[in-house]
Each structure stands twice: as structure tokens, then as C-alpha cells.
Amino acid sequence: MNSANDRPGAAFVAVDWGTSSFRSWLMAADGTVLAESRGPEGMLHCATSGFAPVLRDHLGKLGAAAPLQVLICGMAGAKQGWVEAPYLKTPTRLDALHEGAIQVDTQGDVRILPGVAQALAGEPDVMRGEETQLLGITEADFTGLVCIPGTHSKWVRIENGTVVAFTTYMTGELFSVIAQHSILTHAVETGGAATQDGAPFRDGLATAQAAPRGLTTSLFRLRAAQLLGFEQRADGAARLSGLLIGSEIADAMQRFGAAGQLRLLAAGSLGALYEAALKACGFDVIMIDAEQASRRGLARAAIHLWGAQFAS
């Protein structure tokens, strides 16, 4: 197996290929990271410039020579991505993800993991990339609830290692779109303030909890409160963040049951905000680094795919 890549001990290359980012790692069979290469060449970028050259460049930076074993998760497998890896349908076992991997017709053994779809007319939902993170952070018999905050936040119910239900919230995207393109541009300073767990964030959370169906009025009132001198513009971003995250949690608690233990897959300041918010709502939060989760999920799927060779 070492012959597959030219660094000693290298077993395969793990790639998390998102909408707007590319992250890759040269991995040893035991999960050790030997090298890392990342860039802004996400799906949107590659849709015009092509996927193969981007992968080739990063493999070069990793010092990984062909013939290679490369395992990819994320938007590269979307319909508008490199090669479509059709969704697995819920309920689906996480340790069966690799069975849906699609081989890319290129030099070496390059495969893309599938996303997961909840193909129910009343509750249609999709994920790409998160399923691999879930594989990375759950035991084969795991039962519980996982929250993965972000542009499109996911709440996932897993039973005995099987994804049984999930819900996506447009929390992060709505924050950007509202802060940049609505009347709230006058009320929100984009920058660091959105990521502070202070009084304005907590107030936003409390407002969302108190009136969970009133999001579109709470948004307008954020602006009105500043016009009337009750609030400061400097607090607008944190308050908006509290409103949107609070709204997400209020709905999720109704769908997935009252607070209990929850695995929070996040990092940095966004992770800290969600941790504070979820704890305030009574959740018993276990925080897990999101990027490690992707890498570990790719490693687990790689062992499922190429395990026999790893052992050689």
C-alpha cells in the first residue's frame, strides 16, 4: 500500500470538497495526517474551471504521487459537481456510505462518497458532506442527536448507527443575505460582533424562544429598536445571530424532542455561540471539532473501501 503514494506510510488522500472550499489530507492507514493542502477551489469555482486540475494541483502539494487512492466527500458529488454520487435514502446506515461511492474516470482510484436524502414529500431534505462527518464521530451502535451548524445547519437523529431523520435550517445563509442585502444592512455591522456570546446575542435568543413564529417581525424590530434608541448598531450582528440561531433551536426542539444530550459538530466562534445557546436551552452539549470529523469519516470509509489493501 505504501507504494500507492510516494510519502512513506501514506495510505490514501482524504478530500472534503465543499461549495466554496477544498481541503485535502495525505493520510496514513492509522489515521495519522501526513500532510495537508487547502484552498478556495470549491464546487462553484470548479464548475467553470474543472475539477481534475484542482485535485491534481493539491495532490502535488501533498507530495502524493499517482497511482493514488483518493476518497472525496461533499459537493463534488452533487449533480452540478464533478461526478454525481446519487443520494442514499434515509434510513441509511452510516457505515454503509462507502457502498454508494462513485468512481471517477481518472488516473488512479478516485471515489466520491454519496450524500444522504430524506426523500419524503412532506419533509424533503438533503445533505452532502455532513454524512461523512457523522460517520467520523459516531460509534457503530450510536443513538442520539447531532447538530452541525453552518450555512445550512443540520440536525440529525441517529438510531443504532442509522440516520433516521434530519432537518436543515438556512441559518448561516440567512444571516449573510439579510445582513448584506436587506434594510438590516443599516442595523448590522458585519465583522467580529456576530460571534460574541454577550447580552445582545442572549437577547436575540430569548426573543426567538419567546416568539418562535415571529422571526420576520423580530428581524424588522431589530432595526426599529435602533431607530427608537433602545439598541445600538454595534450590537446588531450579535442580536441577529441570536435571533436566527434561537429560531433554529426552537424549531429543532419541537421536532426532535426536548433538550437532552447532543453532539455539536462545530469549531471556533460559531461553535462557541451554538454551545452557549444550546446549553441555555437545556442541552447537555458534547462539542466535537467539525474538520476532524470529516477527516475521521473519510478515513473510516476508506478502510471500508480499501481495508484489505491497507493491511498489506
258 binds its own copies (CB under 8 A): no
Residue pair 157/256 in contact (Cβ under 8 Å)? The answer is yes
Chosen residue from 250, 270, 285, 293 binding its own copies by CB under 8 A: 250
Chosen residue from 8, 228, 311, 312 binding its own copies by CB under 8 A: 228
Options 193-201, 218-226, 272-280, 290-298: segment touching its own copies (CB under 8 A)? 218-226
Q: Which secondary structure element, helix H or strand E, spans residue 91, and what is its range?
A: none
Chosen residue from 114, 248, 266, 271 binding its own copies by CB under 8 A: 248
Q: How far is the CB of 264 from its own copies (least distance, A)?
A: 18
254 binds its own copies (CB under 8 A): yes
Alpha helices by DSSP H, the chain: 43-49, 52-62, 130-137, 171-181, 199-210, 215-227, 236-256, 268-280, 290-311
Write out the binding residues for its own copies, residues 275-294 only, by CB under 8 A: none
194 binds its own copies (CB under 8 A): no
Give the count of beta carbons closer than 10 Å to the beta carbon of residue 8: 8
84 binds its own copies (CB under 8 A): no
Distance CA 51, CA 18 (A): 12
**What string of DSSP letters covers 105-167?**
SSSSEEEE---EEE--TTS-EEESSHHHHHHHH--TT--EEEEE-STTEEEEEEETTEEEEEE
Q: Which residues of 11-47 are buried (b: 16+ CB within 10 A; e: fewer)?
A: bbbbbbbbbebbbbbbbbbeeeebbebeeebbbebbe
90 binds its own copies (CB under 8 A): no
Longest dimension (CA), the chain: 71
Nearest residue (CB) to its own copies, 101 versus 243: 243
Q: How far is the CB of 263 from its own copies (least distance, A)?
A: 20
Give the count of beta carbons closer than 10 Å to the beta carbon of residue 195: 16
Nearest residue (CB) to its own copies, 68 versus 179: 179
76 binds its own copies (CB under 8 A): no
Chosen residue from 56, 86, 192, 213 binding its own copies by CB under 8 A: 213
Nearest to 242 by CA among 193, 203, 185, 284: 203
Options 20-28, 101-109, 139-147, 217-225: segment touching its own copies (CB under 8 A)? 217-225
Chosen residue from 36, 95, 173, 189 binding its own copies by CB under 8 A: 173
**Residues engaged in binding its own copies (CB under 8 A):** 79, 87, 117-119, 121, 123-126, 152, 167-171, 173-174, 177-178, 180-183, 211-217, 219-221, 224-225, 227-228, 230, 244, 247-248, 250-251, 254-255
